[in-house]
Amino acid sequence: MALKVFKYFFYCILFLVSGWTQAQNYRPLSQYSTKTWTLREGLPNSSVQDIIQDKDGFIWIGTYGGVVRFDGVYFENYADIFPEHKLVYSNISQGVDGKIWLGSGNGVFYFENGKFSQLKNQGDFTPYIESFLNQKDGTLWLGTRSDGLFIYKNGKVTKVKGPSVLEKAFISDIVQGKNQQIWFSSPQVGVFLKDGDNIRQFSEEQGLKSKIINGLYYDASQDRLWVGSNKGLDIIANNKVTSVPALKGIDCIHINFHKGYYYISTTLGLYVVNAQGDIIDKFAFKKSPQIVSSRFDREGNLWLAGYRSGLSKLTPKKFNEYSQFNGLDGNAINTLLEVNKDSILLANDLGTVFYISPAGIKVHPLTNITKNQRIRDMYKDSDENIWISTYNGVYKFTKGKMADYKVFDTSNELTNNSTRFAVEDSRKNVWIGSRTGLFQQDSTGKFTVYTKSNNLSNDFILRVFENPKTHNLWIATAGGGVNLLKPDGTIEQMLDKHGKNYNVVFNFHQTKDGAIWIAHNGGLSRYYQGVFKTIPNLFTLENSTLFEIAEDNQGYFWLSTGEGIIRVNLKELTECFEKDKKKVDYQFFDNSDGILNSSTTPNANILKDSHGYLWIPMVFGVVKVDPNDIPKNTLKPPVYVTLLKVDGKILHRPFEQLKVDRNSKRIQIDYTALSYQAIEKVRFKCKLEGYDDDWVDMGNKRSIQYTNLSPGTYTFRVIAANNDGVFNEQGDTLVFTIDPAFYETRLFYILLALVALGIIYLLFRFRTNQIRARNRELQNQVSLRTREIQEKMEELEIQKKHISDSINYAQRIQEAILPTPKMLASALPEHFIFFKPRDVVSGDFYWLSNVRTGDEKIVLAAIDCTGHGVPGAFMSMVANDLMNYIVNERKITQADQILNMLHKGIRRVLNQRETKNRDGMDMSLVVLNPYTKMLEFAGARNPLVYIKQGEMQVLKGDKIPVGGDQREKERIFTQHEIPLEAIDAFYLFSDGYQDQFGGPNGQKFMRKRFRKLLLDHHTKPMAQQKLILSEALDSWMQETRQNQIDDILVIGVKL
């Protein structure tokens, strides 16, 4: 006896613990997101009768308008493909062999290998089918509307014999009990148990509420049958009937079991009942609440068949939500405050304060004080005072007591009632942000205001943050960016350092490494060791604005945006900023993850409570995140190629030995992945082997097209990832062949080659005969013409020699007028002349006064005459004679006067006033005076470059040439003077060096590169500098094998 009592007590405890554990794991239906499909979305009829998920993962739906197969995006309506099967399908089942069995108003059909077939039994078998039971041995039980119960086995249909009431009975449901027992029900005469050949009836006389039975479920673990009738729910166990009082009087249509709970489809919606028969949840549509049946798929989505309300899918949300559906009023939540463990206050724009606790959601009594006031923030200070910031001022509730409060507004301390927040710093100052400045209440109660007059960049204050080490107060403004209030009371504007585009700052967050992270209208910035850093477009959002930053206990940042919530690993994010990476991996949560509305509340702090949960304010309410338990869909999505369309012609599965006509222009391949949790986030990659070199990222697109493919055999591969990025790497494949046309075959090419060879041979013989005859005629003409050509060549050689001799003579003349090395060395002991004409003679030349002038000055010039070669050489002779006349004969040694005189001389000699001649020269000229220790410079388009204390200085010449067109009344050149002691070295040059093409891209050497070359080597001996210039030029030209395009002249002088 004692042992029986102990066992009874033990089983009771076990039952209670099991029930408590299940209750802890149950997810309320309010934490599921809902999506519904009706006629508008592709269902053939909005009255759905049954739903199953097949072994491949497809959802099959039976409706009054036919049967469809669904992949989450597209409905494959078989009534369109097989019009003769547009029937009412009330029941769907899948056998162990994979066949899809369909019960209709015209008998039994099955779907196999892409085709429908009708079950026949020695002739037509067309009763109205209401229910199925597929057993593991392949036996199929068939319940009809008016012909009783049948068995289909080994190809034969047999009627089940029993009491006379079964002969024409309506069989509404069939389930398997223990030991091969069969339970079936009727909406006319109750429930039956078939045990071998015996059939027992349960009806009202045995205790059922009603004999009108709609659905059954057999619980094998408890050996009890759940019975749904038009008057409620009953349980049959040990041949006894027990009623479930909770559903009394409710028409129960279908019973589904999932993870310890019973999901009862009724005319009033879906009820969830625990093992004790207690209602713990309910779901219903307002307009058409009746649910016909329910099914859970492999991912945990709950599918509902609605009577007139279509097909619905309830998907578990990633996070718990509080909204108008479970106690809030549907308005945006602006602020949250943890008043004590497990107790959270929430407030909105209407002045309503809600209180969330384990007991549920209630309106807090504070609402009586704050009603109709826009609440922006709630804060508890170190003395347990609660500060509530509203657009009517700031409320301070002493020790959190509602009866003891004070209001700060324009009547006492504030200049504006529209306050944004109140927060305490480490020195017990309370800071209040408003639209017209920042207010400080110190520990004595004294108020100080900071505005633009104190150097604030903007008076609209959104948030402040104190760096506890420096006591600097970081101030976020709307329009003026970041400001820094230092302990000495001075304010530094940080907008220029941070970035002028980031002028609206919402929040700050400091991490353990001391870095300060900033959320603003341009995204996310990091301030570390005195430097701001921002990575534009770090997160791929339509709007880059970030509102808030929160750090969980697992090392992740949570960022709120107007489009959803971002979760990013802090270590990876920090590495991204430190190593200048452009992208970082992150998770993005939006309405596809079940969030009612993706938009978070701007400038509303994320609350991290004492449990580590994150409470994120949303425009509809609040989202509660448990960072330790973020559901992840780990199921790899089944992937299938569903359809091949060739020039509009559609081919369905199964695909066998596919051959595509060579003349086909467009091939479209449709594919799918059967993941239903967040269909929008399913991602695909495709590859056509024989065409694509690598995988093509298709995003969420479910078809791809190819045009004008060449003949060959192709293998199309597709893989997919579910909403949480879990890939099915195996995917699916489709092999098809495009046979070549005859003109593309090897035989055609062989025949074509033989024909071509024959034609070539005939042409060869014909042409050979022609050529032989022609050759004889040509031999005579060739001999004659050869003698004539030889005579002409001899004449040309003589003319070439005369021209070459003339040019070489001109070269000797030009070289003779140039200053000799001895003359140069005497005047300029340390110098180099890098002179490289493009042709034999040059338009560039250098000039030095050949004798000391009367005032002992040295005149040096680098001159670039118009043209090069012979024309340039002629101009150089004219310029040389005029320079000798001006400097050596007239003794003119002022740099500007020399250029003035030379300009007039060129125009006079070339008679440029009366003719169209516009030849002239660009030049740079220096005069060295050793007595005054000054250098005079004048230039025509060319500069003087000199080195002073290791830095390069440039004196630009006038932007006018010597000679040529003159539109001004008188051309006057400018003279510059520099002390010689300030010059380490100077350089004169033409434009030939810097304009030379070469390098890896065939571009000009350019002025910047040329001057850097001079500066980098100016300390080296002049001879070595000349060699460096020569080697650099040769290397530049050789990279792309460029020819010299102009005369080159560079003069370097070291003083």
| pLDDT band at residue 440 using 50, 70 and 90 as cut-offs | very high
Model pLDDT, residue 88: 75
Say whether pLDDT at 23 is over 80: no
What does the chain come to in residues? 1055
* Cβ within 8 Å of residue 518, ≥6 positions away: 476, 482, 498, 502, 505, 507, 508, 524, 525, 526, 527, 532
Helical pair 746-817 and 869-883, crossing angle rounded to 10 deg: 20
Mean model confidence pLDDT for the chain: 90
Show the beta-strand stretches assigned E in 230-340. 232-237, 240-244, 252-258, 261-266, 269-273, 279-283, 291-296, 302-306, 310-316, 320-322, 333-340
Pick from 180-184, 864-868, 986-990, 1025-1029: least confident = 864-868
Pick from 12-21, 250-259, 330-339, 727-736: least confident = 12-21
| pLDDT band at residue 830 using 50, 70 and 90 as cut-offs | very high
Structure tokens at 49: 């009768």
The model's pLDDT over 138-176, given as tens digits with 9 standing for 90+, comes to 999 999 999 999 999 988 999 999 899 999 999 999 999
Nearest to 622 by CA among 377, 328, 351: 328
- By CB neighbour count within 10 A (0-12 exposed, 13-18 middle, 19+ buried), where does 1044 fall? middle
Reduced to 3 states (helix: H, G, I; strand: E, B; else coil), residue 762 is helix
The model's pLDDT over 483-524, given as tens digits with 9 standing for 90+, comes to 999 999 999 999 999 988 999 999 999 999 999 999 999 999
Amino acid at 995: D
Element (H, E) at 14: helix 2-25
Structure tokens at 516: 């300060």
Structure tokens at 851: 């004798």
Amino acid at 894: Q
Calpha distance 565→319 (Å, rounded)? 11
Residue scoring higher pLDDT (745 or 750):
750
Neighbouring-strand partners of residue 432: 422, 439
Structure tokens at 477: 């403004």
Q: Which residue has the tokens 């013409």?
A: 785
Structure tokens at 834: 């890098």
- In contact, 912 and 964? CB cutoff 8 Å: yes
Nearest to 29 by CA among 271, 265, 251, 267: 271
Kindly report the backbone phi and psi dihedral angles of residue 562, in degrees, each rounded to the nearest multiple of 5, phi listed first: -80, -5
- In contact, 132 and 173? CB cutoff 8 Å: no
Calpha distance 86→90 (Å, rounded)? 13
Kindly report the backbone phi and psi dihedral angles of residue 629, in degrees, each rounded to the nearest multiple of 5, phi listed first: -140, 70
| Mean pLDDT, range 992-1016, rounded to an integer | 92
Neighbouring-strand partners of residue 985: 947, 1054
Calpha distance 626→608 (Å, rounded)? 10
Structure tokens at 322: 């509080």
Q: What percent of the chain has pLDDT over 70?
A: 96
Amino acid at 473: L
Calpha distance 240→235 (Å, rounded)? 8
Reduced to 3 states (helix: H, G, I; strand: E, B; else coil), residue 279 is strand
Fill in the DSSP letter of residue 410.
Answer: T
Distances (CA, A) of 439 to 423, 436, 492: 11, 9, 17
Q: Name the H helices within 720-868.
A: 746-817, 821-827
Model pLDDT, residue 389: 96
The model's pLDDT over 79-134, given as tens digits with 9 standing for 90+, comes to 777 777 677 788 899 999 999 999 988 899 999 988 888 888 767 888 999 999 99
Say whether pLDDT at 764 is over 90: no
Pick from 256-270, 847-861, 946-960: least confident = 847-861
- In contact, 667 and 646? CB cutoff 8 Å: yes
Helical pair 1007-1016 and 1022-1039, crossing angle rounded to 10 deg: 140
Reduced to 3 states (helix: H, G, I; strand: E, B; else coil), residue 868 is coil
- Residue 289: asked if its preceding bond is cis (omega within 30°), the reply is no
Nearest to 318 by CA among 294, 300, 337, 341: 300
Model pLDDT, residue 806: 67
The model's pLDDT over 528-586, given as tens digits with 9 standing for 90+, comes to 999 999 999 999 888 889 999 999 999 999 999 999 999 999 999 999 999 999 999 99
Model pLDDT, residue 79: 78
149: number of Cβ within 10 Å: 25
Calpha distance 241→226 (Å, rounded)? 10
Neighbouring-strand partners of residue 36: 312
Model pLDDT, residue 47: 93
Amino acid at 318: K
- Separate counts of helices (H) and strands (E) for the chain: 11, 78
Calpha distance 344→609 (Å, rounded)? 9
- In contact, 16 and 24? CB cutoff 8 Å: no
State the SS3 of 38-63. CHHHCCCCCCEEEEEECCCCCEEEEE
Nearest to 136 by CA among 196, 176, 96: 96
| Mean pLDDT, range 320-340, rounded to an integer | 91
State the SS3 of 971-989. CCCCCEEEEHHHCCEEEEE
Calpha distance 157→866 (Å, rounded)? 109
C-alpha of 742 from chain center: 47
Q: How many CA atoms lie within 13 A of 120 on its CB side?
A: 6
Model pLDDT, residue 670: 95
Q: Which residue has the tokens 């004539």?
A: 788
| Mean pLDDT, range 1046-1052, rounded to an integer | 94
Model pLDDT, residue 750: 86
Euclidean distance between the first and final Cα of the chain, in Å? 123
Say whether pLDDT at 882 is over 80: yes
Nearest to 263 by CA among 222, 236, 291: 291
Model pLDDT, residue 19: 44
- pTM above the 0.85 mark? no
Helical pair 895-909 and 869-883, crossing angle rounded to 10 deg: 120
C-alpha of 807 from chain center: 68
Neighbouring-strand partners of residue 321: 623
Model pLDDT, residue 850: 57
